[in-house]
Amino acid sequence: MDLAKKRRTSRMFSSNPIDFKDVTVALETACQAPSGANYQPWRFLIVIDPQMKRRIRSACERGEKGFYSKVKGDWKDWLSSKGLSWRKPFLEEAPLLVLVLSERRAPYSVQSVWLAIGYILLALEELGLGTLTYTPSITEGVLEVTHVPKKFRLEAILPIGISIDEKTKETRRALCEVAYMESWGHGFDKAALPRIRAEMREPRIRRK
Amino acid sequence: MDLAKKRRTSRMFSSNPIDFKDVTVALETACQAPSGANYQPWRFLIVIDPQMKRRIRSACERGEKGFYSKVKGDWKDWLSSKGLSWRKPFLEEAPLLVLVLSERRAPYSVQSVWLAIGYILLALEELGLGTLTYTPSITEGVLEVTHVPKKFRLEAILPIGISIDEKTKETRRALCEVAYMESWGHGFDKAALPRIRAEMREPRIRRK
């Protein structure tokens, strides 16, 4: 829970090498996640070679240029307020990339793989490594460059390294803004906690 | 990382009450997850009322009956080998349910919410609570019973309680079975680790 609180996205990485062992440990953590019918639909493609990183970056930036030329309205404003553009230098700057893939035909493959990505983020935080879940706008180019078979989908690219990103963590909504009790619209606030806790210990008498 | 290793799915829960505070702490952990454009598309509906749990169970079992009557082949065999059926008693037996919802129009809403579910699973494990990520075959009935607006999707129901499920953790594939190096098909095994670690510390000279 502390790791979740501390963890924030990093888009800038030191060129210092990292211990490859740490990356395998974080991915082994992901392998422990539950998945639809225990299908374990995750695959990981680890990229260290600078030439391969450059090709992946080029493929991604080609897609992003198209995306950024079309994006409009609120989302465009949000992207530029965050200083985001089609440029993805972290794909070359991070000492290592992990391409996270899912097996298309597996039950709940997207869901299972993203749950496992949650495990990876917390494991990397525990190891003192930074990352972001970069989702390329167009994935075909990357899959071609890396020879990934058609039956797998690219879910995210995780550049991994020592973070030198000085941005603070984006603020989060409080739980009472996103949680309800019993049925939609019935919120709870901190003031209601003692009552609910007491009710949980001494359940209300069942209505007939 | 230890929590991930230890954690396993529970489908049977003690009727003992749990501390409601723990559930809010686990959901607060989820709120710390990253999300597409920091949209935080997760919503949580916490259900304690026995009557509401019963209505949710009925709605889910109606859907499961349809699903189980149609399922065939490998998946049918897998389900029956695991003792799974349309019956979902855990939806009433667990002292508490969390319906996890996603805002449909949010960017990468399914992905973001399942990543956050990964955070919840590890937080609950840290708190000594069991759960499973139950994905109903049909979600309409549940959304109707709980008055959830159409702009939200039901991603999973998490029954939460003290586990009395004695099943062992399902086995997982080793990392070398699901990971590749540099491009698809180039695996690595434990024997290659020292070489890769050395290369990471002293990068290969860039080819021109």
Longest dimension (CA), chain A: 70
Angle, CA B97 vertex, CA B61 and CA A4 arms, to 5°: 130
The pLDDT tens digits for A40-72 are 999 999 999 999 999 999 999 999 999 999 999
Per-residue pLDDT at A207:
43
Q: Is the pLDDT of residue A206 over 60?
A: no
Q: Evaluate whether A110 touches A167 at the Cβ level (below 8 Å).
A: no
Q: Which residues contact B21 (CB under 8 A, 6 or more apart)?
A: A193, A197
For residues B12-44, one letter each, b for 16 or more C-beta atoms within 10 angstroms of the residue's C-beta and e for the rest, the string is: bbeeebbebebbbbbbbbbbbbbbbbbbbbbbb
Residue in the structure block whose two tokens are 């990292």: A18
Tell whether the model's pLDDT for residue A75 goes beyond 90.
no
Backbone conformation region of residue A81, classed left if phi is above 0, alpha if psi is from -120 to 50, else beta: alpha
Phi/psi of residue B155, nearest 5 degrees? -90, -45
- A positions 73-112 inside 8 Å of B (CB): 75, 78-79, 95-96, 107-108, 110-112
Instruction: Determine the average pLDDT of the residues in A192-198.
Output: 85
User: Distance, in angstroms, between A111 CA and closest chain B CA?
Assistant: 6
Q: Residue B207 above 50 pLDDT? A: no
What mean pLDDT is predicted for residues A80-89? 94
A32, A37, A132 ranked by CB distance to B78: nearest: A37
Give the H or E element holding residue A97: strand A96-103
Residues of B in contact with A180 (CB under 8 A): 43-46
Q: Would you say how long chain B is, in residues?
A: 208
Contact A132, A90 (CB under 8 A): yes
Helix spans in B44-201 (H): 50-70, 73-81, 90-93, 109-126, 140-145, 193-201
Q: List the end-to-end C-alpha distance of chain A, in Å, as a whole number.
A: 40
CATH code that applies to domain B2-160: 3.40.109.10
Alpha carbons A172 and A81: distance in angstroms, whole number: 17
| CB proximity A194 to B under 8 Å | no
Whole-number pLDDT of residue A203: 64
CA distance A179 to B31: 10
Q: What is the mean pLDDT of residues B181-200?
A: 86
Q: Which of A25, A108, A117, A172 to mutate to test the interface with B (most CBs of B within 10 A)?
A: A172
> What is the tens place of the pLDDT at every residue in A154-169?
999 999 999 999 999 9
* Residue-level pLDDT at A171: 96
Answer yes or no: is pLDDT of A193 > 90. no
pLDDT band at B6 (very low <50, low <70, confident <90, very high): very high
Give the start-to-end residue ranges of the domains of chain A: 2-160
Provide, as residue numbers in chain B, all residues whose Cβ is less than 8 Å from the Cβ of A28: 1, 175
Partner residue opposite A48 with nearest CB, options B17, B51, B182? B182
By residue count, chain A amounts to 208
Residues A124 and A132: their CA atoms lie apart, in Å, by 11
- H-type alpha helices, A15-49: 20-30
Rounded to 10°, the helix B20-30/B109-126 angle is 140
Higher pLDDT, A77 or A144: A144
pLDDT attached to residue B204: 55
Q: Find the range with the poorest average confidence among A50-64, A72-86, B50-64.
A: A72-86
8 A C-beta contact, residue B91 and residue B158: no
User: Is the Cβ pair B44, A135 closer than 8 Å?
Assistant: no
Rounded-to-integer distance, Cα A168 and Cα B30, Å: 18
Q: Is the ipTM of this complex over 0.90?
A: yes
Q: B13 by DSSP, 3-state: which?
A: strand
Nearest-by-Cβ selection for B116 from A118, A148, A193: A118
Q: Which residue of A114, A171, A205 is the best one to mutate when testing the B interface, meaning the one whose CB has the most B CBs within 10 A?
A: A114
Q: Which residues contact A37 (CB under 8 A, 6 or more apart)?
A: A106, A107, B75, B78, B79
B122 touches A: beta carbon within 8 Å: yes
Mean pLDDT score across all residues of chain A = 94
Quote the percentage of chain B above a pLDDT of 70. Answer: 97
- The model carries a pTM of 0.95
